[in-house]
Amino acid sequence: MPTRDTARACDAGLPTYDVVIPCFNRAESVSRAVESVLSQRPAPARVILVDDGSSDDTAVVARALERRHGSVVSLLLPRNAGASAARNAGLGLVRSEWVAFLDSDDAWLPGAAPALLAATAGCDVVVGHFRRAWAGGEEGIAECGWSGTDILSALALTGAVGPSWSIIRRSSAVASGGFDPSFHNCNDWDFYVRVAAAGARFRRIDDAVALYHVAASDRLSLDEATGAANAARVRAHPSLRDLPPKRASFAVPAPAECLSLD
């Protein structure tokens, strides 16, 4: 049965959406991510929490959120399979026209949903801005890794789109094959390259829609060789190989965005 907020979205002419939140050992932060989404107006039809075989109390928290909120669904994977597999499992449960993939240590800012949804007409991916947030409570200025021009040229440089500050048409995510589990990192970058290469239409908005929580040093991979190898794999995609090399003129959450491990 449609929720009240789903009905409001339809009445406002906005499409309905689901949010997939993959989580691994994020018992302390996943509630913040969920609440940031549920407070949106319109709220999502469903929030799909995918616990990726956590060894802490993440599964307990996910089940509690499911009991507390009728629109929250928790999916507990039997073992840790990585962020790509967790997102794909969540994508398999999505029923709305649009889906957002919010990282469990990030959060949506007030007004994120209407800002993203209002720009969906005639496109397949809407990209907003984000603000970096540090453990001490400091927040940075609004940033976006994509200038708004040719998306493939931007993706030829770096992972210019982050899942926490974008929303994608479900059919485009499915048609791309979802996230590639063979990428232990750089999986987001690879995903958006394949989505763009398949002809998806991207649009950038000026609104800051998410807080990107900068990970502590012990949450980052220091294996720069693996990160470089995966970046090379992404840049070897046929749609990027023939693009002329250019210098980046925008800021992105790097190297953590490529090197962080779930």
Pairwise pLDDT comparison (184 vs 101), residue with the higher score:
101
Nearest to 116 by CA among 245, 15, 8: 15
The CATH number covering residue 91 comes to 3.90.550.10
- Asked whether the predicted pLDDT for residue 215 surpasses 80, the reply is no
Q: What is the domain count for the chain?
A: 1
- The domain of 210 spans 4-259
If you average pLDDT over every residue of the chain, what do you get?
A: 88
Coil/strand/helix, residue 252: coil
Contacts of 18 (CB under 8 A, 6+ apart): 44, 45, 46, 47, 48, 93, 94, 95, 96, 98, 99, 100, 170
Average pLDDT over residues 189-207: 97
